[in-house]
Amino acid sequence: GAVVSQHPSRVICKSGTSVKIECRSLDFQATTMFWYRQFPKKSLMLMATSNEGSKATYEQGVEKDKFLINHASLTLSTLTVTSAQPEDSSFYICSARYRGPASGANVLTFGAGSRLTVL
């Protein structure tokens, strides 16, 4: 249980185009999903928290207009990189939370990640 599917796994695009990445919770409902970015040999950097039916909450330094997040249903969140530039090339990973066995605990299940290369 608690599977998160992310698509596409890999995308190559030209500068200036927009790229959409989908994140789906397959066997549970996720009211909250998280989008991370990971550079080579670096840890996960939280970009934004996606809440179903409301606006995403972005971390400091993350451009809202560059990284559009939509969480239209309890099982789907999308990240759109608008007017992608080479510096946006990175590994983007989504995750969804589900309740751990202990009350109050939140455990994240991650998607497999999407590698974006902007030429």
Report the residue from 11, 30, 93, 118 that binds other proteins according to the rule CB under 8 A: 93
110 binds other proteins (CB under 8 A): yes
Report the residue from 13, 22, 28, 49 that binds other proteins according to the rule CB under 8 A: 49
64 binds other proteins (CB under 8 A): no
10, burial (CB in 10 Å: exposed 0-12, middle 13-18, buried 19+):
exposed
Cα 41 off chain centre by: 19
Are 71 and 53 in contact by the 8 Å Cβ rule? The answer is: yes
In the complex, the residues that contact other proteins under the rule CB under 8 A are 4, 6, 32, 34, 41-44, 46, 49, 91, 93, 95, 97, 100-102, 104-113, 115
